[in-house]
Structure 1
Amino acid sequence: MSDIVKKTGLQLGIVLGTVLIVVSAYIYFVDLKLFTDVWIGMATALGMVVFGCIAALISRKKLGGYITFRESFSTYFITILIGRVMVCLFSVIVSSFVLTPETKVSLKQQMYDFNVKLMNQNLAPKEETEKMVKSWPQYDPFTPSEIITPAVKYLLRDCLIGFLAALVIRNKRALI
């Protein structure tokens, strides 16, 4: 992997992480109702993919117009990894040291209402809804493991999109 790929991925990853931290800070400190907003979640996911693709395109330009699949995906992956790690660390710090217990209760209630609404909209079996309702009091969404686990799952989802993007962005015959 060339230095251009690493440097571009790192630079845009830091920019992405900063943008995600600003959005998260706004949600945590200004408008908690946005915590469960579907459109914010979709915009965040789209933003990550766009940043990754832009990073790959910039790398291709810096490499003289030719980029392999590996270089393209590496740039994309480094960008979204750095961004995801930065916002994850921010969330762990905020939830561990900044949020008051009252705010955590409010956010947990919002999450509960959102999950029940989502399960009802998707016609989930009544048993699954009851199971979620019974287990909810023991669930603590503010532990580091509960913050990191979904972040890893979303990173894997974004990698699948990155594979497709790298296939489109590459312009050499070699796939690896």
Structure 2
Amino acid sequence: MEKSTKKLATSYGLYLGIALILITVLIYAFDISLMTEWYLMVINLVLILALGTMAVKKSKEASTSLFSFKNAFSSYFLTVLIGLFIATIFSLILFNLIDPEAAETLKELTMEKQAAMFENFGMTEAQINEAMVEMQKQETFSLKNIGISFASQLVIFSIIGLIIALIFREKDPTNA
């Protein structure tokens, strides 16, 4: 991986991390219940994919040699890794150190939405109550759970990154 490619990917990763933090802070400041909405995940997904793809595109433009699949994927992966890591650390700090009560509020709001969804699926009251008891036991913002979430997001975005790398790579004309 070229030095300029690494630098570009790192820059875009920082931009991504800052953008994800800004979204979290704005929602936290105005209406924390928005964190339970499905469209927030879509917004984050689009933002991550857009900045990851932009990093690959800029890296390809800056590349002085053949832009391989490895270079394309590395650029994307580094961007997403840095961005998600920054956002994850911020969430850990916000919900465990700064405002643990917000974590409990978010957990309760999530449980209410889940209960409503379970009702719509036709689950019995006993099944819903059992599921709510299990959800109550979970520590949503524990280091373990946030780590698992980070890792699973990284895997999902890496799979998408493989496709993006295939699109942006340059084929070696001598191996045709």
Secondary structure of 1:154's partner? helix
User: Structure 1 residue 76 and structure 2 residue 64: aligned?
Assistant: no
Q: Which residue of 2 aligns with 1:162?
A: 161
Q: Which residue of 1 aligns with 2:29?
A: 29
CA 1:134 to 1:155, structure 2 compared with 1: closer, same or farther past 3 Å? same
Dislocated runs of 4+, deviation >3 Å: 117-121, 123-131
Q: CA deviation at 1:93?
A: 0.5
TM-score (norm 2): 0.88
Secondary structure of 1:140's partner? coil
Give the Cα–Cα distance (whole angstroms) in 2 for the partners of residues 145 and 69 of structure 1: 33
Give the Cα–Cα distance (whole angstroms) in 2 for the partners of residues 130 and 119 of structure 1: 10
Aligned residues: 172
Q: CA deviation at 1:151?
A: 1.8
Matches within 5 A, 1:103-142: 103-120=102-119, 123=121, 129=128, 131-142=130-141
Give the Cα–Cα distance (whole angstroms) in 2 for the partners of residues 83 and 124 of structure 1: 39
Q: Give the letter aligned to residue 165 of structure 1.
A: I
Across the aligned residues of Structure 1 and Structure 2, the Cα RMSD in angstroms comes to: 2.2
- Look at both structures and tell me which one has the larger radius of gyration over its CA atoms: 2
Give the Cα–Cα distance (whole angstroms) in 2 for the partners of residues 149 and 92 of structure 1: 13
Q: CA deviation at 1:29?
A: 2.4
Q: CA deviation at 1:97?
A: 1.4
Q: CA deviation at 1:131?
A: 4.3
Q: CA deviation at 1:105?
A: 2.8
CA 1:98 to 1:73, structure 2 compared with 1: closer, same or farther past 3 Å? same
Q: CA deviation at 1:53?
A: 0.7
Give the Cα–Cα distance (whole angstroms) in 2 for the partners of residues 142 and 163 of structure 1: 29
User: Structure 1 residue 11 and structure 2 residue 18: aligned?
Assistant: no
CA 1:7 to 1:124, structure 2 compared with 1: closer, same or farther past 3 Å? farther
TM-score (norm 1): 0.88
Q: CA deviation at 1:173?
A: 4.1
Question: What percent of counterpart residues are identical?
Answer: 23
Gaps of 5+ in 2: none
Q: Which residue of 1 aligns with 2:88?
A: 88
Give per-residue Cα distances to partners, 1:77-123, cap 9 Å, x unaligned.
0000000000000000111111153x3332111111222334455x4
